[in-house]
Amino acid sequence: MSELPFAATTPVSVSRVGLKARDAESLAAYYRAVVGLQELSRADGAITLGAANRPLMVLEQDPSAKPDDPRSAGLFHTAFLLPSRADLGRWINHAATNRIGIEGASDHLVSEALYLTDPEGNGIEIYADRRPQDWKWNGDKIAMATERLNLPAVVASVPTGDAGWHGAPENTIVGHVHLRVGRPEDAEAWWHDEFGFDTVAKYGGQAVFLSSGHYHHHIGANAWHSAGAGRRDPSRSGLAWVEMRSDNVKAESTREDPWGTVIRTVPGKA
């Protein structure tokens, strides 16, 4: 059995992501078939999906919602962290067998990742981390890059005769959430003030990466397509909320970031 990824063991980590869905049934089917999530429960028009009884995503049905606007503040991607490189190799084989459309494949030095988009325009990352002891730090900043992923090497990590992909394995988590924002510096200040997050990397003035407990990032925030964006239009589909788990609180709370994105906090260990 795999261990819980390092990303979930820090003082604060991502727990779940909520999406407002125009067609929750179709979207749930996509996340089951493509990402390998399991349906865990249904209540009040919402479908909860997860891995091995760990809730990771909630789809909230709203057929009247307007489509998400990629130029507005909102979700850039939900990043599903698999427990091992071999799990990522299994998923790559699954994607190839089922002709799942991949939009990107990157080596970020700290992790290896593939990117796709769900039918309602929500970005998805499927990734596996390299060992934290192999990450390169320069003081309090981490070395990350976007290089070509060596797909054959990842696939080769799957043992010979392996049973293959059978859905998201136990200890799959949401490792990080990457947000679209109007000004990355405002996001940086907000996550620092509200959660005590450290800034671990910046890509010029266009993107910032923040984390708890020396992870490479729990939150990314970029203005690549959303520079100057104001508050979110609540009538649009897409990101409904992000839920963070914290060792540092004793009660649940809800707040909004500068763009009106709902950020929940729940107490407890991962």
Q: Where are the domains of the chain?
A: 6-238
- Closest among 79, 88, 67, 112 to 13, alpha carbons compared: 79
Cα–Cα distance measured from residue 222 to residue 241, given in angstroms and rounded to the nearest whole number: 17
- Closest among 236, 129, 238 to 179, alpha carbons compared: 238
Sequence-ordered strand ranges (E) for 143-261: 147-148, 173-180, 198-203, 207-211, 219-222, 238-246, 253-256
CATH number among 3.40.50.2300, 3.40.1190.10, 3.10.180.10, 3.40.50.150, domain 6-238: 3.10.180.10
pLDDT tens, per residue, the chain with 270 residues: 568 999 999 999 999 999 999 999 999 999 999 999 999 999 988 999 999 999 999 999 999 999 999 999 999 999 999 999 999 999 999 999 999 999 999 999 999 999 999 999 999 999 999 999 999 999 999 999 999 999 999 999 999 999 999 999 999 999 999 999 999 999 999 999 999 999 999 999 999 999 999 999 999 999 999 999 999 999 999 999 999 999 989 999 999 999 999 999 999 876
